[in-house]
Amino acid sequence: MKSNTAKLLIAVLLFIVAIVIFVKFGMGPSEKSALAEDAKKLDFVCTKCGAHSQLTNDEMRAASPAAGAQQPSGDETRRVRGGRMAERRPVTIACPKCGEKAAVQAVHCAQHDVYYPVENLDGSPGKCPKCP
């Protein structure tokens, strides 16, 4: 009987340890890491004046299309998706320097220390203006 009780006790302990490990490591990112991600700054560059700015995810959400960000007007880009044509334009937000709604998400070229759009207003991929 003692060996059966010992086996049952070990099985219960292993089950509890497995639950603790799953809860600690298997439940996805913690709230703390989610808050750190919201505080991370995103780079933007104005397509009109060239000014560089940084916004947190919270600031970006505040400047989303529903809160005043603007999509470029017109039929500027069409890409084929799943056999049908779909418009694709980058989200623009107001530039803190010139006030125009022409700032788009940017990438930094470390070689030339230049910020350039991830995607141009016409939908084409952005490229460092100084790289060949």
Q: How confident is the model at residue 73 (pLDDT cuts 50, 70, 90)?
A: very low
Amino acid 15: pLDDT = 94
Q: How many CB atoms lie within 10 A of CB 96?
A: 14
Unique residue bearing structure tokens 């320097």: 97
Cα 61 to chain centroid distance, Å, stands at: 11
Determine what percent of the chain is predicted with pLDDT higher than 90.
28
pLDDT-derived band at 1, boundaries 50, 70, 90: low
Domain boundaries, the chain: 39-117
Say if residue 76's pLDDT is above 50: no
Question: Which residue, among 86, 82, 90, has the nearest Cα to 125 in the 3D structure?
Answer: 90
